């Protein structure tokens, strides 16, 4: 009897040790599998070798990727990750609507500490003004105190730079205009990313310069040309008659010494008459042409 009881006791002991060994091996396998995963369960405490990470995106609802692993749509967290350097990215719904270079960030997680990161993927706002260019600066929304360097329109501004601020636009002969960040973003949303701000003019519009009428289009010039042409034409007839008189003297003279002088006088008046007639005809023609084309602008 004693031998049977001892053998039974030994059999139960072996069975219990086998079960305990199998459970221990399963625990080791489970812990190794858990250690190999990048994203740890939420029950990891702050005293462990992990850190807590929360990810938010603007606009919300974007797909979040941590070191190449998709972890859900923002906001996500807390995610318990090994305390190391990680790459956090957000995938936009439409990549064409977002600008490159702002869809991710690299950060170092500290052991036992909570880290929150916000990825702002909202597109930049193109600010334009009427008139352009205008001086633009970021100011405090209440005191209008300058909070950034001034620049000129057109300019692109990130929504993150506008958060909690206002913009002030200045232009010569126009009133200063202040726009809040909400109003500017709403204007950009309505204008497909472009916010155009028309400044109010405070100085009177300059009087338009009167365009002086060209002198050749003035009536008195045209009439003067016709009058001068008529006078020159009449003078040509008088000069021609004077040339004929000297020519008659040249023909009727018998004085050898006077004949050359008569001939020269005749030639002189003939030339004057021809020049006066030609100039007179040109002046009359030009004056009449200007009168005819008076209605042409």
Query: Residue 33: its pLDDT value, please?
Result: 30
C-alpha distance from residue 288 to each of 216, 224, 228, 282, 284 (Å): 12, 11, 12, 10, 6
pLDDT digits (tens, 9 = 90+) for 33-69: 323 333 444 444 444 688 999 999 888 888 999 998 9
**What ranges do the domains of the chain cover?**
50-120, 125-198, 215-295
The pLDDT value given to residue 75: 92
Report, as an integer, the average pLDDT of 101-110: 81
pLDDT of the residue at 18: 42
Q: Supply the mean pLDDT for the chain.
A: 76
Interstrand relation of 155-157 and 125-130 (parallel, antiparallel or unpaired): antiparallel
pLDDT confidence band for 162 (50 / 70 / 90): confident
Q: Is the pLDDT of residue 231 over 50?
A: yes
pLDDT of residue 9 exceeding 70, the answer is no
Burial class (CB in 10 A: 0-12, 13-18, 19+), 169: buried
Give tens-digit pLDDT for 65-81. Answer: 999 899 989 899 899 99
- Position 30 scores a pLDDT of 31
Contact 120, 185 (CB under 8 A): no
List, for residues 238-271, the tens digit of each pLDDT value: 888 888 888 888 888 777 878 888 888 888 888 8
Q: Name the helix (H) or strand (E) containing 185.
A: helix 181-190
Length of the chain: 297
CATH class of 50-120: mainly beta
The confidence score (pLDDT) of residue 161 equals 82
Which pTM was predicted?
0.46
CA distance 163 to 154: 20
pLDDT for res 240: 86
Look at strands 76-82 and 166-170 and give their pairing.
Answer: unpaired
> Which position has the higher pLDDT, 71 or 222?
71
pLDDT at 286: 83
Which of the residue ranges 8-22, 86-100, 112-126 has the most confident prediction, judged by mean pLDDT? 112-126
For 172-193, give one letter per residue: b (16+ CB within 10 A) or e. eebeebebebeebbebbeeeee
pLDDT at 183: 87
∠ CA 223-228-234, rounded to 5° = 130
pLDDT 10s digits, 165-219:
888 989 988 888 898 888 888 888 888 888 888 888 887 766 666 677 677 677 7
């Amino acid at each position: 009897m004693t031998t049977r009881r001892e053998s039974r006791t030994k059999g139960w002991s072996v069975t219990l040790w086998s079960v305990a060994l199998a459970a221990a091996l399963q625990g080791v396998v489970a812990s190794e599998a858990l250690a190999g995963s990048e994203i740890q369960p939420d029950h990891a405490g702050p005293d462990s070798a992990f850190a807590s990470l929360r990810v938010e995106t603007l606009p919300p609802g974007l797909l979040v990727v941590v070191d190449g692993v998709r972890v859900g749509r923002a906001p996500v967290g807390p995610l318990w990750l090994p305390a190391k350097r990680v790459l956090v990215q957000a995938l936009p719904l439409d990549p064409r609507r977002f600008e490159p270079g702002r869809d991710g960030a690299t950060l170092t997680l500290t052991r036992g500490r909570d880290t929150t990161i916000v990825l702002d993927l909202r597109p930049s706002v193109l600010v334009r003004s009427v008139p352009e260019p205008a001086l633009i600066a970021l100011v405090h929304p209440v005191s209008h105190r300058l909070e950034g360097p001034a620049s000129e329109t057109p300019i692109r501004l990130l929504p993150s730079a506008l958060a909690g601020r206002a913009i002030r636009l200045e232009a010569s002969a126009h009133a200063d205009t202040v726009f809040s960040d909400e109003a500017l973003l709403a204007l950009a949303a309505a204008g497909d990313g472009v916010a155009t701000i028309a400044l109010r003019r405070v100085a009177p519009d300059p009087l338009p310069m009167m365009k002086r009428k060209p002198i050749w289009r003035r009536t008195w010039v045209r009439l003067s040309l016709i009058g001068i042409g008529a006078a020159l034409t009449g003078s040509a007839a008088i000069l021609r008659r004077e040339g004929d008189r000297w020519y008659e003297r040249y023909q009727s003279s018998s004085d050898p010494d006077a004949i050359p002088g008569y001939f020269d006088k005749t030639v002189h008046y003939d030339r004057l008459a021809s020049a006066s007639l030609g100039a007179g005809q040109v002046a009359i023609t030009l004056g009449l042409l200007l009168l005819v084309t008076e209605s042409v602008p």
